[in-house]
Amino acid sequence: MSADQLRIATLDRDAVEAYLADLMHVSRATWDPQTCTPWVEPWTADQFRYDLAGKFSMSTYLADGDRAVGVCIAHERENGYGPHSDAPYGFIAKLALHPDYQGERAYVNSVRASGALFDASIERIEGSGLSAVRLGVLENNPTALRFYERRGFAMIGTQRGTDDLKRIVMEREFA
């Protein structure tokens, strides 16, 4: 890995096709039954291809040269996640960074790769005029919880799915 080869870009339909194998590799490499929703992860090719239809503008990926090594899937959503909201909000559907690039292992313009990747999606959500962004994180994922708290997210509820795993619903409001 060379720091000057790392870049953040928008994950559009062409990028999904070009990097599909890399994206699935990242999803598999970060899959952990303790911290990831078992029936959703790791994402399949169809999830990357079809679940994202029309949801590309806020999604980002981290590229190292000609490989994708991280992904943040973000889109607009109207309710259905956490407490009722009168207004639509941005929703982070997936954040995953290959372990080789986590923590202090990788930087983009002096910012940790994880932060650079995530913040790029957050900027797109905020720039689209939405007033808040939400996400869900399993309670036994302390790394992700800490990561989101450090970025101004606060717990607004919990959700328990059919898998009986408890998800913390977090939100950040834009000023």
Ligand X SMILES: CC(C)(COP(=O)(O)OP(=O)(O)OC[C@H]1O[C@@H](n2cnc3c(N)ncnc32)[C@H](O)[C@@H]1OP(=O)(O)O)[C@@H](O)C(=O)NCCC(=O)NCCS
**What are the tokens at 165?**
């795993």
Q: Based on the shown chain and the rule CB under 6 A, indicate whether residue 39 belongs to the binding site for ligand X.
A: no
Q: Report the DSSP beta bridge partners of residue 169.
A: 136, 157
Name the β-bridge partners of 168.
Answer: 137, 158
Closest distance between ligand X and the C-beta of residue 120, in Å?
Answer: 13
Binding characters for ligand X, 134-173, by CB under 6 A (x = yes): ---x---xxxx-xx--x-----------------------
Nearer to ligand X, 56 or 101 (CB): 101
Q: Token pair of 161, please?
A: 């799915």
Nearest residue to 9 (alpha-carbon basis) of 130, 36, 22, 25 = 22
Residues from 51 through 80 that contact ligand X (CB under 6 A): none
Among 30, 47, 60, 121, binds ligand X (CB under 6 A): 30
Phi, psi of 22 (to 5 degrees): -65, -45
Q: How many residues bind ligand X (CB under 6 A)?
A: 18
Q: Going by C-beta distance under 8 Å and a sequence separation of 6 or more, which residues neighbour residue 21?
A: none
Residues that bind ligand X (CB under 6 A): 30, 35, 95-97, 102-103, 112, 114-115, 137, 141-144, 146-147, 150
